[in-house]
Structure 1
Amino acid sequence: MRSRVESIYGLSKMHLGMGQARYKSLKRNALSFSMRCIALNLKRATTIKKRIRTITG
């Protein structure tokens, strides 16, 4: 279970630049983090949807 969760954090740090804060303001960093999480979830959702389609036929 731990490796599954940590791999998602690793992907977000590597591909979405979530390893460092970009802005000085806490509000801007929170908004940036939220938008990046949304983008990551949308990307993952398309992959999951494709897997479900191949399984169900």
Structure 2
Amino acid sequence: MTATDPAPFEMFETIINLKPEKEWRAGMTKEKLVEEMIAAMENAKIDSPRGTWTMSKAHNPIQD
């Protein structure tokens, strides 16, 4: 976030740096990894002082 960023303070982005593909589990593909991440995200709840946040694929897309 910067002073010129129009996003509200409570809106944030998360960046996940992946290991090189050669270090992934056997048989893992990018598509399978995305599916696993979405499945984990769909069930996630984050409790904070401002309330409980839920994650969803529709509101939190996975991008390259």
TM-score (norm 2): 0.32
Structure with the larger helix share: 1
Give TM-score scaled by structure 1 length: 0.34
Q: Which has the higher strand share?
A: 2
